[in-house]
Structure 1
Amino acid sequence: MTNFDGFSERLKIAIKGESSYGFAKKCGFSESLIRKYLSGASAPGLEKAVIIAEAAGVSLDWLATGKGETGTGTQAAKQKPDEVVGMEDYAFVPLYDAQCSAGAGAWNENCRVLTHISFTRYSLRKQGLTPEHLSAIRIDGDSMEPVLHSGDTVLIDHTRTTIEGEGIYILRLDGHLYAKRLQRNFDGVSVISANSAYDKVTVPRDRLHELEIVGRAVWAAGWL
């Protein structure tokens, strides 16, 4: 069984004096959660420990148990997430910033990878998802409230770029990514915001080629 005794002290060493706020942003966690870990009031589960180890550039084994080398500045720090020893059952999906370039390039051209989010490969297979076709972004704005809130993270399946019944899809428009509900109708496709303060937009049939669907949202999470 994984032993997290002394985790808080190892975490202090791992973050090398970085602020709890800055390190929390790297991990995609709240600052209050990182503060709990640093104070010893709480210890992470395995999935969160993997994300912390990757963000700090240290060995997961050392961070969790205190055994072995820290991995800082060594090959261990340069490993890709899927290469972490003992973590073959996990897939790591990149979380991109939402500011993406317009034009004919790839949807994530010039985007930064903020961190990686871990999922068990079993849970993805159960949903018919493959890790290499997934990515994540954070929602910006209130147009999808109360379904999705600003700052929420959504997982995108990039194999689903055609409308399969009503669902939430990620669209690219004017250099930004938007989460919107799409619904086919007789006139074309309706682009619908969950927030009633935003009007529904209809893309007519003869302009559907202009509707760039990046993928379908298949999972979402946010702080309560």
Structure 2
Amino acid sequence: MTKKKELSPELKAECDAAKALFMSKKNSLGITQASLAAAADISSAAVAMYLNGTNPLNAKFASVLSRQLGVPVEKFSKRLAKEINGLTSAPEMAVGFGGSAAEIVRNMLAHQGKGLTEDARRRLLAVAEADDDGALEIDYYRPGAVGDEVWIAHYDVRAAMGGGQIPHDYPEMFQDVRVSPQHLREMGVEFKEHFHLKMVTGWGQSMAPTIKHRDPLLVDVSVREFAGDGIYMFSWEGHLYIKRLQWLGDEQINMLSDNPRHPPLTIRAEDTYIQARVLLVWNAHLL
């Protein structure tokens, strides 16, 4: 496992300042890491990694934190305040200053989209054009139905079945998978909406023989809380895992491996950030 590079003193100081403001105002404003995560459309684990100085602050999170705390971005990051001011002062780069969402995306693709596939370009632009009509979807990889078949995004997220993987802030996509939701349900896979289904990759041996190293996994990203004993993808202590979780009571969870060589571990529920529930190993092993 590669150790995550520590932030520079300047970036760490920004995180410390943001955390100090959050801690000083959270009780009076009734803000929690979970509510902050919801406002920023990220996980609670990602919020913790910003505030604890594991990941550097970015403009999006800084803007949300500023609004939630009622303080200017300059209070914790002059660097990001300058960056945000630069973005909002450019008429061609902001919807509120003369440009549509589609125009913004076209501009972005022209300058920064050289590494994207044509399909990714098409989907990004389609979402932006939908936004101009007031129909923007939060997940721009939401697959569309083709008959009874839908596309499920396969993300480059390696969730460790062992020592843990440091999660990416912005996962890339592998090749999508085309499946039939009706067929999945006939196999016993339970889910509400097919656009909540994603593919990730298991990494390691601790869940063998149920999940083997590099097995593709079908997960439901709408499950963000413990919903009964089962296999989950979750963050704990800044790392991403795929393990069985079993509720012990008194805010304690048992983290279990199917490989008997890996002993169980008791962890606290408040330190565990569930990202998804694993529904199916893509080798016909129903979970």
TM-score interval (norm. to shorter): 0.5 to 0.7
Q: Which residue of 1 aligns with 2:157?
A: 98
- Please state if 1:137 is matched with 2:200: yes
Aligned partners of 1:155 and 1:145: how far apart in 2?
A: 17
The residue aligned with 2:75 is none
After TM superposition, the structure 1 = structure 2 runs for residues 50-199 of structure 1, keeping only pairs within 5 Å, are 87-99=146-158, 109-124=169-184, 127-173=190-236, 176-187=239-250, 188-199=252-263
CA gap 1:184/1:146 in 2 versus in 1, 3 angstroms: same
Question: 2:205 is matched by which residue type in structure 1?
Answer: D
Q: Partners in 2 of 1:162 and 1:116 — Cα distance?
A: 26
Q: For 1:184 and 1:77, locate their aligned partners in 2 and report how far apart those are by CA, in whole Å.
A: 40
CA contact (8 A) 1:129 1:157 kept: no
Partner residue of 1:211? 272
Q: 1:175 to 1:76 in 2, by over 3 A?
A: closer
Aligned-pair CA distance for 1:176: 4.4
What is the CA-CA distance between 1:79 and the residue it aligns to? 5.9
1:190 Cα deviation after fit: 0.3
Higher RCO (C-alpha under 8 Å, 6+ residues apart): 1
Measured against aligned partners, the alpha-carbon deviations of 1:79-124 in whole angstroms (never above 9, x if no partner) come to 669569xx33211111111258xxxxxx763211011111113235
Letter in 2 for 1:194: D
| Alpha-carbon contact 1:124-1:131 (below 8 Å) kept | no
> What letter matches 2:253 in structure 1?
V
Q: Separation in 2 of the partners of 1:90 and 1:209?
A: 38
Residue 182 (structure 1) shift:
0.4
Q: Contact 2:155–2:173 (CA<8 Å) still a contact in 1?
A: yes
Asked if structure 1 preserves the Cα contact closer than 8 Å seen for 2:254 and 2:266, the reply is yes
Amino acid of the structure 1 residue aligned with 2:212? H
**Could you say if the C-alpha distance between residues 110 and 117 of structure 1 is closer, same or farther in structure 2, counting changes exceeding 3 Å?**
same
Whether the 8 Å CA contact 1:92–1:131 is kept in 2: the answer is no
Q: Which runs of 5+ in 1 are unaligned?
A: 1-74, 101-106
- Using the alignment, how far apart are the partners of 1:115 and 1:109 within structure 2? 19
Deviation readout 1:162-198 (Å, 9 max, x if unpaired):
2222110011246543210000113411011111111
* Secondary structure, aligned partner of 1:143: coil
Percent same amino acid among aligned pairs? Answer: 24
Equivalent residue, structure 2, for 1:3: none
Distance 1:218 1:108, change over 3 A: farther
Kindly provide the amino acid, as one letter, of the partner of residue 211 in structure 1. T
Given that residues 151 and 222 in structure 1 are in contact (C-alpha distance below 8 angstroms), is that contact kept between their aligned partners in structure 2? Answer: no
More helix as a share of residues: 2
Cα distance between partner residues in 2 of 1:176 and 1:96: 17
Tell me which amino acid in the other structure corresponds to 1:93.
Answer: I
Listed as ranges, the gaps of 5+ residues in structure 2 are 1-117, 124-140, 160-166
**Aligned mates of 2:242, 2:169 — CA distance in 1:** 18
TM-score by length of 2: 0.42
Q: How far did residue 134 of structure 1 move? A: 1.4
Q: Is the 8 A contact 2:237 2:271 kept in 1?
A: no
TM-score, structure 1 as length reference: 0.53
Question: Quick one: distance in 1 between partners of 2:183 and 2:169?
Answer: 28
